[in-house]
Structure 1
Amino acid sequence: MPTPSDKPVRHWFITGASGGLGRHLTEHALRYGDRVTATVRRRTALEELCETYGDRLTVEILDLTRQADVHEVVDRTLRSGPVDIAVNNAGYAVVGAAEEMTVEQIRDQIEVLLLAPMLITRAFLKPMREQGGGRIIQISSLGGQVGTPTHSSYHAGKWGLEGFTESVSREVCDFDVRLTLVEPGATRTGFASALHYTTESTAYRDNAVGRTRRYLETADESVFTGDPAKLAAAIYDTTRHPNPPLRLTLGSDTYDAVHAALTERLTALESQQDLAASIAYSD
């Protein structure tokens, strides 16, 4: 086990820490001597870590769709001492055609993926600014840059998070508050448990929506190349950099897909250069 460094102990706030990347990141920070306030849906999810790390781990129960609870947990965390690194990690995906999604499914998806991270980010900005700096890590995904059928509400949340984060990062960089969007690809984090399916309609059963649904329903996670422990280590290392990247693209699949998407968008943009200039007033 690594021994704690001579660097000051840092305080992390991590949402969605009961499993997957959130748990790996919680374990990594604790292993290297830091403190963590971890939010979960079930307190028993982190019992083993509580026994191992004692008062360096604080567990909070939090449902991100309950805005009042979000404020209460963040306020209580800040009363316990300064937070150096906040990680908006919790999430899930509604799978199905946009037409199949209920209003409740869409609302809950946006509240968890976008509204809650916005509220948590805002809550930490002032204390981080006043303490002279801090880090906010937004767990986006390949889906924050590339759109696929069946994930329209998920993409709305992740693309919105990317725009929000890019804007805020420019507002607070003078205060040494740094924001980083982490964009992992297919990672072995038990993704199936985070997929919520719509009620399938016959209209979409045999097109791209149906084919994608079939793939997700039968996908074998063992083919995913992303190692969540290595992903957590890469995120941790980034928080030690004095000038971290705005976007951290992790996974060869993510790199290839984002590169292709950005290249396609740039090509489409360049093809419209003359049209873009044509709508100006004539002198």
Structure 2
Amino acid sequence: MSATWFITGTSSGFGRLLTERLLARGDRVAATLRRPEALDDLREAHGDRLWTARLDVTDAEQARQVVDDAFARFGTVDVVVNNAGYGVFASVEEASDEQIRQVIDTNLLGSINVIRAALPHLRAQRSGHILQVSTAGGQTTYPNFGYYHASKWGIEGFCETVAQEIAPFGIHLTIVEPGATPTGFGRSMATAPVMPEYEDTPAGMVRRAVASGQLPLPNDPGKIADAMIDVVDTGSAPLRLPLGVDTFRDVRASLAARLAEHDAHRDAALGVARTDVAAEAAG
């Protein structure tokens, strides 16, 4: 049975791959992007199973209107994929105010805009699955990605909350965490003037590794798109879906280190309890 998908950021990367695969198997896609003409080839091949709209996810009113139009066009939308993203590759001192706002507005507020616009429709149909594309950097960190991490850690916390709130309505939410993948996203990331003070720091080391092509891209973008489709098809709906050898390795190491540090402060944490609470716990 065919399904209907709403996908943001479909001009390239995972958004384009998902759109191609879904249309090829007979699904319907409401594809949003800044330049709808970028999908003219798919529209010619698949006709009215592809609906496109211009969308800047940072515009909350436009997001509501486009989501409303997509539901009106297809009647039901089974899956909402938040894929649009923006990144800046710079140390925290190097990025400009405008770049910082663009990262937060696109990755955090933009994703929130789309989810909030979709929820009334998904509640009304009492079904649906939201796929929020995050990254390994939604749970771990790397130098020069501070503002990207801020947006992705933020949207993951938001989505954990949303998942609890919408479960009673039969709506699922999965945070998808791809690792480093050759989708072209890295080449499109904004940069900033380099500060020489950071040359001999971890930020400088990572910058040189990227510039020399030494940063590995070990994951297959097509396989990641297929895994995203599979998680919907199987109905498993995990809260998080790590997709990448680096994602699994780095996030696991980060979680283990955080848990070890957390446990190391057990006495301090329990030591600040009110006297009556501490006595009750001891008894």
TM-score range, shorter chain: over 0.9
Partner of residue 256 from structure 1, selected from 249, 256, 264? 249
Given candidates 140, 143, 146, the residue that maps to 1:146 is 140
Task: Tell me the CA shift for residue 220 of structure 1.
Answer: 6.3
Q: 1:82 aligns with which of 72, 76, 84?
A: 76
Question: Which consecutive unaligned segments of at least 5 residues does structure 2 have?
Answer: 277-283
- Name the aligned partner's letter for residue 150 of structure 2: A
TM-score by length of 2: 0.93
Q: Structure 1: which amino acid aligns with 2:170?
A: D
Q: Does 1:226 align with 2:219?
A: yes
User: In structure 2, which of residues 249, 266, 269 is the aligned counterpart of residue 276 of structure 1?
Assistant: 269
Report % sequence identity: 43
Aligned to 2:239: 246
**Which residue identity is paired with 1:151?**
F
Deviations along 1:66-92, whole A, 9 cap, x unmatched?
Answer: 333222222221221221110000112
Structure 2 counterpart of 1:156, from 139, 150, 153: 150
Segment of structure 1 superposing worse, 96-105 or 71-80: 71-80
Q: CA deviation at 1:264?
A: 0.3
Which residue matches 1:114?
A: 108
Counterpart AA for 2:253: A
Aligned mates of 1:62, 1:219 — CA distance in 2? 33
Contact 1:185-1:253 at 8 Å conserved across structures = yes
Compute the RMSD of aligned alpha carbons.
1.5
Distance 1:276 1:34 in 2: 52
The answer as to whether partners of 1:41 and 1:61 remain within 8 angstroms in 2 is yes
Note the alpha carbon deviations across 1:176-205, whole angstroms, 9 max, x for none: 100000001011211333311022112223
1:3 alignment counterpart: none
**Which residue of the partner structure matches residue 28 of structure 1?**
21
- In 2, Cα distance between the equivalents of 1:244 and 1:232? 16
Question: What SS does the aligned partner of 1:148 have?
Answer: coil
- Amino acid in the other structure paired with 1:152: G
Aligned to 1:99, the other structure's residue is in SS state coil
Q: Which amino acid aligns with 2:89?
A: V
Alpha-carbon separation, structure 1, partners of 2:253 and 2:242: 13
Q: Which amino acid aligns with 1:77?
A: A
In 2, Cα distance between the equivalents of 1:248 and 1:124? Answer: 21
Q: What is the CA–CA distance in structure 2 between the aligned matches of 1:126 and 1:132, rounded to whole Å?
A: 10
- Per mean C-alpha deviation after superposition, the further-off stretch among 203-212 and 251-260 is 203-212
* Separation in structure 1 between the aligned mates of residue 40 and residue 208 of structure 2, nearest angstrom: 36
Per-residue Cα deviation, 1:28-76 (whole angstroms, up to 9, x for no partner): 1112211001112222321221111111111212222333322222222
Amino acid at match of 2:53: E
CA deviation string 1:94-119 (max 9, x = no partner): 11111122221111100110101111
Alpha-carbon separation, structure 2, partners of 1:208 and 1:44: 41
Aligned length: 275
Q: Please, which runs of 5 or more residues in structure 1 have no aligned partner?
A: 1-6
Q: Provide closer, same or farther for how the CA distance between residues 66 and 214 of structure 1 changes in structure 2, counting only shifts above 3 A.
A: farther
Kept in 2, the 8 Å contact 1:187–1:224? The answer is yes
Q: Do the aligned residues in 1 keep the contact of 2:166 with 2:172 (CA within 8 Å)?
A: yes
Which amino acid in structure 1 is aligned with residue 105 of structure 2? E
Q: Is the 8 A contact 2:86 2:102 kept in 1?
A: no
Specify the SS of the correspondent of 1:64. Answer: coil
Distance 1:215 1:62 in 2: 35
* Residues 31, 51 of structure 2: 8 Å contact kept: yes
1:95 corresponds to:
89
TM-score by length of 1: 0.93
> For 2:125 and 2:57, how far apart are their aligned partners in 1?
26
